[in-house]
């Protein structure tokens, strides 16, 4: 991308954003975006689109338009007085943080982890002697050495059962287009085996090793002319790769009858004799399970209609399933024999729970899992031999993200809160009791949250539904309606916004800001009913919930519209678009990352087809009516005073096509009368945000906080 002098572009956008031009510069306006009307007809209804031409991201005219927008945005953001402060503060917080260990796996008696150690840009794969000996970390694969720009990331990794090899999926520039390379664990040596097209944003990717570690099963997308161009990122299948052989000789194993939008997750037993394929029907929350027995025969265990979700191999010849098809419509865990893989033969293990099961792991004689309680989660355990629950305790308003069974009656789990960094704890069982203890893999941050508290509040939505609202604030905060506040939301795919520590929030809180997080319908905070209440034709409930949370913050004295900003990404970007078009008077500023805005055309692009089970299709009349009723792009009104808007996107985004942000920017810039800026931050070297390097994340956070600080009229204290 061409770099254009900041001073020139600051004068160019001076009138647009209401800033004075630079001394000696003539004030100029950002050139209006050309309109080229295209009209589509849906169910007899004509719909005009003035900016269809911006959908072709590789067209020279679109590239030139993006460069103009980008240069204008940089001219504005780089000139903000607070940006240098935020960037400096964020770099300092990240640089002084302790290494973080995530995505742990225990295989062949060896503990693996992804280690993130700033100032390195990307996490890297290591082995550890134990969770109590972080100094023993030995590097297996470090993408930071493969790419000095920090743009190569590990999508996922899977160690072999004997811990001799690790299959590592790597992708570049946030594309999530991952190829798998095999590394020798003992030496970190990469084998010549590189298997292409294992991972892609549409359906993800997965690997599972065979018993003797001579090869692995993997998900593969079509290659070459195996499928028409429109299907090249669909029809994921299962293949097998034998180490040391050309990938062109890999065997097709299974998947011919899977749906076009199948998303496959693979797991094998510790001895590699059984292979499980969990197949999601797109992104709507439906799963089917298929089991390959030692002889190579496949059995379908569950269908999409059976409402079984998570599946885990036990250490006793059983497969454990999370069932949501119980008589009381509550979560329960059942199991089936691997040598008799029939759901009709399933045995109940853990009876119906009042809480929503989020995750679980299977030990020798224990089940250990997490239960959602409206966003936060709690630890639970069950003794398989005694057939009774085991008491466990968890601090309030915390979240447990992962559970790993080590051996015998020993587990590790990762816990964090809004104000406590993530760390790994050990859970052991003896005499029918569970005991927890800290490990040495405990995160430490220079961001001091001792003066911060978390308040769990509730808003009342339009239909009377109580919606949880988590408010992070400095202790003793005066509720005078004058506090600069960010309200964050998502509300989709059954994904829960659970407590998560972010050191970067401290730079907002220490300036007197408030950060609030809403647990909206559409998420999974209260189970599948909560999710279904906010998907398909019920999506407006999500937007109503978010509006209620904003009004709750205002009515409670935290803030007022002139001091309220909203933020979200991806499906949360759609939420931002709906919020600003439905209630422009309620917010001063909007920040939307990689958002979806044109709901009538989203399904035409690869990942959009996977979203149909969540959003619906324009081909179905009632779903079309619902989509058109809230589609943000189609509800931008002419001559309307919109809030200040910052849209961020990445050119390599395979989940949400960046044309959504391009078109929404053009539409808002052409219509807003508020005099407030509508800016597009367009990155050619990133994607959906997954795999972004540390330097890019810091730059993005600094831009966002500086933008919001200016719009909410914060009095920034920069310190010495």
* Structure-block tokens of residue 230: 């429109």
Burial call 332-346: b when 16+ CB within 10 Å, e when fewer:
bbbbbebeebebeeb
Element (H, E) at 706: helix 694-711
The conformation of residue 510, written as its DSSP 8-state character, comes to T
Question: Tokens for 33?
Answer: 């975006």
Greatest Cα pair distance in the chain:
82
483 token code pair: 């506090």
- Nearest-angstrom CA–CA distance, 283 and 538: 16
CA-CA-CA-CA dihedral for 374, 377, 381, 387, to nearest 10: 10
Q: Is the dihedral of CA 535, 538, 539, 541 positive or negative?
A: negative
Catalytic site residue from 85, 94, 634, 688? 688
- DSSP string covering 33-94, please? PPP--EEEEETTEEEEETTGGGG-TTSHHHHHHHHHHHHHHHHHHHT-TTHHHHHHHHHHHH
> CA 633, CA 644: separation in Å to the nearest integer?
16
Let me know: does 100 contact 440? Beta carbons within 8 Å: no
Q: Is 322 exposed, middle or buried (0-12, 13-18, 19+ CB in 10 A)?
A: buried
Q: Counting Cβ atoms within 10 Å, is residue 273 exposed (0-12), middle (13-18) or buried (19+)? A: middle
Q: Phi and psi (nearest 5°) for 10?
A: -65, -40
Q: Is the Cβ–Cβ distance between 74 and 683 less than 8 Å?
A: no
Residue tagged active-site, from 377, 496, 570, 686? 570
- Of 418, 599, 422, 441, the C-alpha closest to 514 is 418
Number of H helices, E strands in the chain: 14, 38
User: Is 161 among the catalytic positions?
Assistant: no
Helix (H, G, I), strand (E, B) or coil at 515: strand
Q: What is the 3-state secondary structure (H, E, C) of 242-266?
A: ECCCCHHHCEEEECCCCCCCEEEEE
DSSP 575-611: HHHHHHHH-GGG-SEEEEES----TTTGGGSHHHHHT
Side-chain half-sphere CA neighbours of 496 within 13 A: 27
Q: Partners of 45 in the beta sheet?
A: 42
From the CB of residue 574, how many other CB atoms can be counted at a distance below 10 Å?
A: 29
CB neighbours of 720 closer than 8 A, spacing ≥ 6?
none
Residue 417 in contact with residue 499, Cβ under 8 Å? yes
Half-sphere exposure of 185 (CA within 13 A, CB side): 23
Q: Active-site residue 556, yes or no?
A: no
Catalytic residues: 570, 688
């Amino acid at each position: 991308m061409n770099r254009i002098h900041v001073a020139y572009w600051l004068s160019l956008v001076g009138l647009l954003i209401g800033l004075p031009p630079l001394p000696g510069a003539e004030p100029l306006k950002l050139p209006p975006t050309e309109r080229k009307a295209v009209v589509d007809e849906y169910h007899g209804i004509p719909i005009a689109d003035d900016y269809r031409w911006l959908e072709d991201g590789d067209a020279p005219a679109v590239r030139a338009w993006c460069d103009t927008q980008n240069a204008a945005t940089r001219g504005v953001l780089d000139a903000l007085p607070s940006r240098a402060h935020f960037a400096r503060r964020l770099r300092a917080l990240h640089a002084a943080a302790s290494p973080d260990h995530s995505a742990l796996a225990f295989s062949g008696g060896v503990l693996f982890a992804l280690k993130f150690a700033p100032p390195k840009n990307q996490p890297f794969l290591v082995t550890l002697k134990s969770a109590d000996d972080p100094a023993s970390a030995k590097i297996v694969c470090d993408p930071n050495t493969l790419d000095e720009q920090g743009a190569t990331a590990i999508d996922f990794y899977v160690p072999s059962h004997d811990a001799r090899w690790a299959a590592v999926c790597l992708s570049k520039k946030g594309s999530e287009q991952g190829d798998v390379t095999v590394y020798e664990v003992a030496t970190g040596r990469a084998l010549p085996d590189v298997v292409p097209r294992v991972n892609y944003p549409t359906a993800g990717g997965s690997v599972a090793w065979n018993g003797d570690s001579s090869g692995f099963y993997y998900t593969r997308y079509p290659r070459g002319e195996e499928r028409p161009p429109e299907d090249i990122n669909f029809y994921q299948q299962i293949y097998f790769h034998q180490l040391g052989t050309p990938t062109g000789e890999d065997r097709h194993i299974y998947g011919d009858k899977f749906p076009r939008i199948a998303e496959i997750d693979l797991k094998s037993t510790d001895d590699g004799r059984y292979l499980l394929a969990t197949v999601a029907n797109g992104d709507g929350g439906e799963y089917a399970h298929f089991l390959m027995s030692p002889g190579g025969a496949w059995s379908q265990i569950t269908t999409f209609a059976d409402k079984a979700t998570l599946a885990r191999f036990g250490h006793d010849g059983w497969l454990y399933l999370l069932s949501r098809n119980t008589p009381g419509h509550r979560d329960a865990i059942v199991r089936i024999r691997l040598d008799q893989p029939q759901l009709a033969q399933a045995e109940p293990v853990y009876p119906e729970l009042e809480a929503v099961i989020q995750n679980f792991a299977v030990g020798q004689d224990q089940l250990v899992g997490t239960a959602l309680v409206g966003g936060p989660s709690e630890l639970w355990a069950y003794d398989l031999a005694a057939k009774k629950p085991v008491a466990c305790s968890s601090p309030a308003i915390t979240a447990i993200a992962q559970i790993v069974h080590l051996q015998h009656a020993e587990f590790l789990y990762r816990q964090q809160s809004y104000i406590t960094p993530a760390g790994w704890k050990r859970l052991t069982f003896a005499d029918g009791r569970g005991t927890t203890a800290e490990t040495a893999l405990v995160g430490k941050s220079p961001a001091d949250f001792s003066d911060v508290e978390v308040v769990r509040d509730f808003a009342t939505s339009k239909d009377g539904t109580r919606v949880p609202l988590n408010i992070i604030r400095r202790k003793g905060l005066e509720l005078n309606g004058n506090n600069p506040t960010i309200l964050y939301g998502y509300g989709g795919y059954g994904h829960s916004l659970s407590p998560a520590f972010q050191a970067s929030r401290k730079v907002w809180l220490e300036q007197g800001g408030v950060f609030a997080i809403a647990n909206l319908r559409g998420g999974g905070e209260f189970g599948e009913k909560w999710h279904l209440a906010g998907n398909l034709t019920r999506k407006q409930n999500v937007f109503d919930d978010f509006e209620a949370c904003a009004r709750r913050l205002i009515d409670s004295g935290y803030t007022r519209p002139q001091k309220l900003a909203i933020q979200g990404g991806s499906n949360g970007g759609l939420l931002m678009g709906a919020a600003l078009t439905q209630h422009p008077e309620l917010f001063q500023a909007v920040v939307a990352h990689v958002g979806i805005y044109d709901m009538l055309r989203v399904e035409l692009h690869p990942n959009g087809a996977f979203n149909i089970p969540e959003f619906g299709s324009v081909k179905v009349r009632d779903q079309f009516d619902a989509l058109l009723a809230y589609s943000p792009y189609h509800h931008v009104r002419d001559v309307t005073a919109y809030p200040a808007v910052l849209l961020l996107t990445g050119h390599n985004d395979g989940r949400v096509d960046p044309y959504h942000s391009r078109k929404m920017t053009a539409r808002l810039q052409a219509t807003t009368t508020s005099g407030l800026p509508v800016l597009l931050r367009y990155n050619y070297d990133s994607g959906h945000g997954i795999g972004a390097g540390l330097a890019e994340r810091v730059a993005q956070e600094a831009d966002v906080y500086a933008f919001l600080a200016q719009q909410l009229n914060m009095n920034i204290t920069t310190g010495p």
